[in-house]
Structure 1
Amino acid sequence: MRRSPSFAAFLAGVALSGVLAGAAQAHSPYLLPSAFDVTDRKLVTVQGSFTESFFSPEVAMKSDAWAVVGPNGARMPLTATNLRELALVEVATEQSGTYRITTGQRTGRTAKAVLVKGQWEFLEDPATAPAGTTPVDMQSLTLADVYVTRGAPSTAALAPVGKGLEFVAVTHPSSIFTGQDAKFTVLFDGKPVAGQAITLHAGDDRYADAKTPPVTLTSDDQGRFTVKVARSGVYQIQARYRVAPTATDATGHSYTYALTFESLR
């Protein structure tokens, strides 16, 4: 049976075949379970929050679409308890296999954004838009997942939703080991996304002498990317994918997907 590492393992450094990025993007989403290996449990509690420092909750992740996908692949709704800094859900884990706990697709605020040299930039004041650009409405859509396993890992809960932005785990999330490749595919509406930036964050920064900078990876032409961490710990990987307004939809959409996983020796 795989055991969760001590809390000190949150201080783990990262070794990836990627490029070091700058400071973490503000208020990134995450889910964090009370245990990833629930073999000796019949219940797991999962917190959901937005933070600037993993995994310290700051703003509760409220959603009307909380759910669990069980080992049989069936999706069941969950009801969260929303506190100020975090949301909490309890999930029964009496059956053997892998469970996917998810916020579901949650709709966030709409902000003004402009396209500058192929990149979307958000504006606090539309009047400050660069010359030659036209501000548009951009609505945020966030989805966060985490997997826990009782006994032997199973695969039914890993099936892609096929809508919005998501990561498909090629390497089972309950079989990610330190120093070994963990493979994923990034999809949007069920199709691979080439050249997508994926950011990996290590926790827990509040106990580290210096913050571990996030690492940025890029998916290949088939949407595949590989993560390899140097030390055991808990990590979050996320991506953002933005869709411009169209003739049939005047509002653009900014999708964020986040997955938390544990890496053990």
Structure 2
Amino acid sequence: MRIQKTLIALALICAAFGAQAHKQWILPSSTFVENDKEAWVTVDAAISEGLFDIDFVPLKLDGLTITGPDGATLQPENVMNGKLRNAFDVKMAKNGTYKIALVNQNVFASWKVNGEMKRWRGSEAALAKEVPANAEDVKVTRTNTRIETFVTANTPSDGVLKPTGSGLELVPVTNPTELRAGEKATWRFLLDGKPAANLPFSLIPGGVRYRGTLNEIRHVTDAKGEITFTIPAAGMYMATASWPAQAKPEPGKQPEMPARRVMYSATVEVLPE
């Protein structure tokens, strides 16, 4: 059973590196709340085939961090674990912009012992204990995944937009809760705190099931890791990027897993003009 679960996990991660048929996302009920008394948002978390559709399995909330405009860490309220999605509420007691992020690091390893292939998934700390001394053909891939969104109560602020210096991060020059259709926005991507130059990323609007087409918007950062762009229509979007770029598969060969894989996605709301 343990081996079977590991194989399933490896298959899912390989799928994520490839076509990304199933997408992981967190979706706030709103990204900008104006309320003089109490500001709240409800956040759904799921893995789905259709973007923002609740049609597959819930996204685990392991690694969830909610950061307030003053830098304080908040706890989710009214957590619900469902069959197809998980959900929670965020009370925004202070004015400003909040960051809601799921950050995870995993290690995937494979090796042979007496000609038999072994596969394992776990933490960095446990890796050395799991790989036996007589292991051969050891291959290790480390993954860093950040899934996040931003919400504002009454007045935008930039405290939570500062980078942590770890993994692939979006450092918005334009506050992500102030995006409007037809207006220019500037974003900056960093990899381990340094400019992520020439990084491809895409924006996909929700509602694919009603359009029948993906309508993916693709961009590439400049030498400073920055890009200025315009989003043509209002709605909820998912921004995604990954590093390194995936190598083109060779016919008849399994794709080689890189030694390190870093993935980023964010849900942002674009308001009407």
CA contact (8 A) 1:194 1:223 kept: yes
CA RMSD in angstroms, aligned pairs only: 2.7
The CA distance in 1 between the partners of 2:50 and 2:109, in whole Å, is 24
Partner of 1:131: none
TM-score under structure 1 length normalisation: 0.73
Instruction: Decide whether the 8 Å contact of 1:38 with 1:149 is kept in 2.
Output: yes
Q: For 2:262, which of 222, 236, 255 is the aligned residue?
A: 255
* One-letter identity of the residue aligned with 2:178: S
Moved over 6 A (4+): none
- Equivalent of 2:197 in 191, 194, 197: 194
The letter of the residue matching 1:229 is I
Q: Which runs of 5+ in 1 are unaligned?
A: 1-22, 113-133, 244-250
CA 77–67 in structure 1, closer or farther in 2 if over 3 Å, else same: farther
User: Is the Cα contact below 8 Å between 2:203 and 2:217 reproduced in 1?
Assistant: yes
Partner of 2:28: 33
Q: CA deviation at 1:137?
A: 3.2
With a CA cutoff of 8 Å and minimum separation of 6, indicate the structure with the bigger relative contact order: 1
Decide which structure has greater helix share: 2
Q: Please tell me whether residue 73 in structure 1 is matched to residue 71 in structure 2.
A: yes
Q: 1:7 corresponds to which residue?
A: none
Instruction: Spell out, residue by residue over 1:203-242, the C-alpha distance to the aligned partner (whole angstroms, 9 max, x if none).
Output: 111222x213312211110101233211111111011114
Q: Distance in 1 between matches of 2:81 and 2:187?
A: 31
Separation of aligned partners in 2, 1:96 and 1:241: 34
For residues 150 and 233 of structure 1, do their structure 2 counterparts lie closer, same or farther at Cα, with a shift above 3 Å needed? same
Give the percent of matched residue pairs that are identical in Structure 1 and Structure 2.
Answer: 30
Cα deviation, residue 111, structure 1: 7.1
Q: 1:111 & 1:60 partners in 2: Cα distance?
A: 25
Q: Are the equivalent residues in 2 in contact too, given 1:242–1:252 (CA < 8 A)?
A: no
Write out aligned runs for 1:179-258 (5 A).
179-208=182-211, 210-242=212-244, 252-258=259-265
Equivalent position amino acid for 2:32 in 1: D
**Equivalent pairs, count:** 215
Question: 143, 153, 157: which one pairs with 1:154?
Answer: 157
- Name the structure 2 match of 1:56: 53
The letter for the 2-side match of 1:66 is L
Amino acid at match of 1:28: K
Query: TM-score if structure 2 supplies the norm length?
Result: 0.71
Q: 1:137 to 1:213 in 2, by over 3 A?
A: farther
